Amino acid sequence: MPELTLAAEPRRRALARLAASWQAAMRPSVLLEARRNRLLYTSWPIVILASLPFSAAIAYAAGYPVSQGPAAALLTWVAAGLPLTAALFGAVAGAGLRGPAAEAEAALPVSPREQAFSALGGAGAALAVTSLLVLAMTFLSGSDGRSVLAAVATLGNPHDITGRAAFAAAAVLGLFWILTVSFTAAFAASHAVLGAAAGVFGAAAALLPVAAGLLLRFNHGIPAGFIVTALLASGLGAAGAAASLAFCAPRAARGVRVRWTGWAAAALLPLCGALLSWPALFTARDRVLADSMPVSSFPDKPSGWSSPTGDLRESRGGRLTRLTDAGELTLIAGETPSLADLLWGKRLGFVGRVLRDSTQRIWAYVIPPDARPRELWQGDGKGPMKLYMMMPAGAHLELRDGKAFLNLMPYVVESTELYPLDPAKPPIIKGQSAIIP
């Protein structure tokens, strides 16, 4: 028995050495690659913390509560700082694998692809820790930071669990996309600045439509169908970025000559998600513009008779339409808001009041988004309405005994400033000028 034990010992040692070498080859050292850039990974949170007293001083100098300064700074870090951090970490980690470091580590039993993904994993772990730190500080910064963070995280609807989960998934996939693209570009070009620029500018093409679509949902409540498309686009983009790194890593490390078509395919792989996200964004915009609501009816003053307006609908920008058997007829075109207006919640023109007189003529006024006077329109409802006049300040459109009036004293019970509206000619009002278009 002892002889058999001694005879089996060399075999056990050989198997142990084989297992150790297999583990070294199959399990790349993420910690080893993370130590390479430990100065950046550990000092960056210190930079974030150092920005808080500076922002508090700015808030104090501007006359705002001191607590709003750090909260605003942390929200800026969440919205813009974390994507820039992903680009920075990825670019520095990717460029760090080239040059003298690559020659010194050439003897390690790790392939260039495994080494690249190990460095990417180290950068991703550092980015995750930094992101959690920023989110935790934002949540603890006070009610301002918590309320804004909660509103963004829930897309404006705390009961929308689907939207909340979609936003979190899209944010994580977007940060991974920026990190991977910056890493791959810096690794292939041996230049950190080029890698960071590729991540930042590439994100404008690949991630901007996803972020814009989620912002449309936040501001205007677009259907949940866009969330599915956003997640698919983000997932395809992240998978394409990882596939691009898997293609570029061994070829760039060994100096293999690759045709321009190969590099072009590697550059376009991370952008494959944009083929879904951009058309989906414009479809969501069209849905927002086409969204309409029934126009409120206003009663006749003496009789209480309600003006029948059930077939009239209002859309964003002061657009008024009428539902007919042949489809939707545009009565007032209004001003079509741009995509930027919808994204940033710009104040838009809207229909103030609509009523029908006893002859079924439609009267409506539109309140513009700026300081221009209100526009009074009229028409028979069978075609586009015509601009009738510019309404005086403070005037109301009213219906009395089935007739349309302009009331310059709407808050007086027995108003003496009532002007009947004749479709053929606008009224002449004392003391008013330049009110007829």
Helix (H, G, I), strand (E, B) or coil at 65: coil
- Count of other CB atoms within 10 angstroms of residue 46: 9
Average pLDDT, the chain: 77
The token pair that represents 79 in the structure block: 């919205």
Pairing of strands 350-356, 327-332: unpaired
User: Is the pLDDT at 193 greater than 60, yes or no?
Assistant: yes
User: Could you tell me what percent of the chain has a pLDDT over 90?
Assistant: 5
Indicate yes or no: pTM above 0.75. no
Candidates 129, 121, 123; CA nearest to 28 is 121
Distance of CA 27 to the CA centre of its chain: 37
The token pair that represents 375 in the structure block: 């526009």
pLDDT value, residue 411:
60
What 8-state DSSP symbol labels residue 166?
A: H
pLDDT value, residue 24:
44
Report which listed range, 23-27, 124-128, 318-322, 391-395, is most confident: 124-128
What 8-state DSSP symbol labels residue 270?
A: G
Q: How far apart are the first and last CA of the chain?
A: 113
Amino acid at 136: A
Choice among 191-195, 343-347, 378-382, 403-407 with the minimum mean pLDDT: 343-347
Q: Residue 86 and residue 231: Cα distance in Å, rounded?
A: 19
Pairing of strands 319-324, 327-332: antiparallel
Residue pLDDT, tens place only, 256-279: 677 777 778 888 888 888 888 888
Beta bridge partners of 324: 327
User: Is the pLDDT at 369 greater than 60, yes or no?
Assistant: yes
Helix (H, G, I), strand (E, B) or coil at 189: helix
Helix (H, G, I), strand (E, B) or coil at 306: strand
Confidence bin at 224 (pLDDT 50/70/90) = low
Helix (H, G, I), strand (E, B) or coil at 322: strand
pLDDT value, residue 346:
76
